[in-house]
Structure 1
C-alpha cells in the first residue's frame, strides 16, 4: 500500500480526530449513508437505543477522504478501531473512492454489518423520528446528533433528503 486513505461519511468528516496530510471530497459507489445502526452506547442504551449513521450497501455516498502520512498509519488505524469498533457493528473494509480531483483511491472505511443485532435495516422516517426523539446515551441526546449531522452535511454542500425529513419530523414533534 503506497498511500493510506480514510473515508468519512458522518462525524468523521468534520471531526476526524487524527492528523492527515490531505482532505478531499470523495464518492464511494455501492454504498449509501443511512441512519441504520441502533446505538446502545453513544446515543442510546440497551433499553432505549438511539439511531446513528452507518454505511450501508446500495447507491453512492458523498463523503470526505483523508490521506494519512505513512509514519502515522499505525496510530491512526488504532484510533479508528477504538472509535468505530466499540460494539463491532461496523466492519473495516477497503473502499474504492473517486476523489473530487478525479483520482481513484482505496480507503479504509467502516461499513455496517447487516448481520449484527444493532443493524436497524430500512426504517421509515416516522419510525426514525420516534426512536431518535427519546434516545440519549453516553455522548448525549440522539436528537442533537441527528440535527447536528444534517446541519454539518448541508454546510458541506451534501444533501441527505431522508435525514432532512427526519429532522423536520423532530422539529414538528417539538411543536
Structure 2
C-alpha cells in the first residue's frame, strides 16, 4: 500500500498530511507549514482498537480513526517535495504497522484554500472498528487499557487539549471525557 500511495502522490509537488489525532500533537516529522483544515464526509471517532500503542491484545485500548460521515477539523502539514518520500515512509511505519487504516487522499479546506492531503481513515468493516460501545465499556477501557505509549485516557485527553489549543471543538470527544470524569 505504501508503494501505491507514493505512486498516487507522484512526488512532483509538496506532500500534505491531514492530522486529526496524535499527529496534531506528536507529528514526529519535520514540516514546512501547518494549517488548520476541515474535511467533509469524514469525522474523528474514538472507535479503533489499539492492541499495541494504547492497549494489548488481551486488553485493547482505543485510538482515533476517521469514519465516513460528518466533518472533521484537524491540521494539515506540508512536507517539501524532496522530503516527502522519506517522511511518508517513516509515517507509514508508525500509522500502518498493522495495516489497519485505509489511506485516502482527501480535500482539506484551509484558510488559504483547499489542498489534497493524505489521511488515515477507518472502515466500519475493519476488524479494528469497535462498533458501538457502551458508557461502561468506555469507562473500563479508559481505566484498564495501557500500551507502549500509555493509556487511552491520556491519548484522548492530550488530543482534546491540543484541539482546544488550536480552537477546534469536538463535541463528541468533550461528551466522552465528561462522561468518564463522573
Q: With structure 2 as the length reference, what TM-score do the two structures score?
A: 0.88
Q: CA RMSD in A?
A: 1.5
Trace 1:50-129 onto structure 2 (pairs within 5 A).
50-101=61-112, 103-129=113-139
Range with greater deviation from structure 2 (151-160 or 116-125): 116-125
Range with greater deviation from structure 2 (142-151 or 91-100): 142-151
Alignment match, 1:137? 147
Gaps of 5+ in 1: none
Kindly indicate whether residue 158 of structure 2 is the aligned counterpart of residue 148 of structure 1.
yes
Per-residue deviation, residues 126-171 of structure 1 (Å, max 9, x unmatched)? 4323322211111112221122221221122111122112212222
Range with greater deviation from structure 2 (83-92 or 28-37): 83-92
Quote the offset at 1:31 in angstroms.
0.4
Query: In the aligned structure 1, how far is the partner of 2:26 from the partner of 2:37?
Result: 16
Query: In the aligned structure 1, how far is the partner of 2:73 from the partner of 2:123?
Result: 20
Asked whether the 8 Å contact 1:26–1:98 carries over to 2, the reply is yes
Quote the offset at 1:125 in angstroms.
4.3
Asked whether the 8 Å contact 1:44–1:135 carries over to 2, the reply is yes
Alignment match, 1:14? 25
Query: In the aligned structure 1, how far is the partner of 2:137 from the partner of 2:77?
Result: 34
Gaps of 5+ in 2: 1-11
Kindly indicate whether residue 57 of structure 2 is the aligned counterpart of residue 38 of structure 1.
no
Query: Aligned pairs, how many?
Result: 171
Range with greater deviation from structure 2 (146-155 or 123-132): 123-132
Alignment match, 1:161? 171
Range with greater deviation from structure 2 (46-55 or 146-155): 146-155
Range with greater deviation from structure 2 (137-146 or 70-79): 137-146
